[in-house]
Amino acid sequence: MKTIYLDNAATTPIDKEVIEVMQQSMLENNGNPSSIHQVGRKAKASVETARKNIAKHFNVDASEIIFTAGGTEADNLILHNAVTNLGVNVIITSKIEHHAVLHTLAYLQEYYSVEVLFVSVTNKGEVDLEHLEELLAASTDKKCLVSLMYVNNEIGNLLPLDRVCSLCTTYKALFHSDTVQAIGHYPIDLQKNPIDFIAASAHKFHGPKGVGFAYFKKGVRIQPMLHGGSQEKGARSSTENVHSILGMEKALNIAITNIEKDTNDLSSLKKYFIEELTASFTDVKFNGCSADLDNSSYTILSVRFVTANSMLLFHLDLKGIAVSGGSACQSGSSKGSHVLEEILSTEEQEKISVRFSFSKFTTKEEIDATIIILKELLN
């Protein structure tokens, strides 16, 4: 049975070219980047070249990129520094952020004197920009940080980045955005969009798992959370994951080089899937702005079915279709999606929601096969 993989918001398959780069590095790049001999210097040079090349994609300096073990660590490093190092005492966020942000803020609120405020979201999961401005205006006497994700990982909503940047600039607030679902899919120029901090994870754009980076705007001296070495200019102790860093660099370069083609191809594929679902299931609904091609990511479609089949995800898995109910991070939890809980009525939450997410490897034939199997299971 062939597997149809439609859970790319959880992780993406590694590109073959990325594997080749990593394999070559494993064969030839054996040094510790902290070693001063020529083998170590070669590894160090590879890491620093990757840092420079990654920085260029975002129009920033290489010194502003800190390599991490992924997006969660990047978010933690950024938020901890905002509170413990930069003196931030008010953080404005939403209740539909990734748990890498929400759980970190809950910790910081409990152990440090920081106030966490939640901006309202609509029943489509859109950030209420008027309320955001009200919260910012009421916090001008404090050091404030706004933390809002660019692409929601469960419903795919796009944050109006320009407008949020403008508000943060007007009210002199720092701005952190979890851009894990956006990087490699949407161009981000950090000179045009003055975001102070972003987080990235390579495995969301066909790179290896366990590696990512944090961007800290120049001028911020970073206090490490991991101690025991002076790697990453003192910002993160631990021997650099050389092979994965080079894989991430290659994956990002491929993604950004092909971003226009991939955007067009996947937008068309998502549109086709929406049309087929609507034609096949008269009572199907879409969560958030998921079905709005202008205001949601082309990689994510969150679908709500009116069905008593509570085992739908399980049966789809048995049929070889890999999907998610919410974020993959929650799949082991007995709790439902905190995002859907925030935007749906109690009655609508009882219905079965499925997150389908696509990559450049997803085909129209796979979408057709998925529709056939959904008909078998739901009609």
Q: In the block, which residue shows the tokens 């590696």?
A: 211
DSSP tag of 159: P
Tell me if residue 246 falls in helix, strand or coil.
helix
* CA–CA distance, 313 with 322 (Å, rounded to integer): 8
Which residue, 242, 230, 204, 234, is CA-closest to 216?
234
Taking residue 113's Cβ as centre, other Cβ atoms within 10 Å add up to 8
* Residue 58 and residue 283 in contact, taking contact as beta carbons nearer than 8 Å: no
The secondary structure of 31-71 as a DSSP string is S-TT--SHHHHHHHHHHHHHHHHHHHHTT--GGGEEEESSH
Catalytic residue among 144, 165, 289, 329: 329
Alpha helices (H) along the chain: 16-28, 38-57, 71-84, 99-111, 129-137, 161-170, 242-257, 259-280, 312-318, 338-343, 346-349, 364-378
Report CA-CA distances (Å) from 219 to 38, 65, 284, 290, 333.
32, 12, 50, 38, 40
Which residue, 101, 41, 51, 92, is CA-closest to 215?
51
- Per-residue b/e over 210-238, b at no fewer than 16 CB within 10 Å? ebbbbbbbeebebebeeeeeebbeebbee
Report CA-CA distances (Å) from 96 to 90, 93, 188, 245, 289.
18, 9, 22, 30, 13
Count CA atoms closer than 13 A to 307's CA, side-chain side. Answer: 21
Identify whether 329 is a catalytic site residue. yes
* CA–CA distance, 91 with 27 (Å, rounded to integer): 46
Report CA-CA distances (Å) from 184 to 12, 66, 149.
12, 18, 15
Q: Which two tokens stand for residue 94?
A: 């939403």
Residues that are catalytic:
329
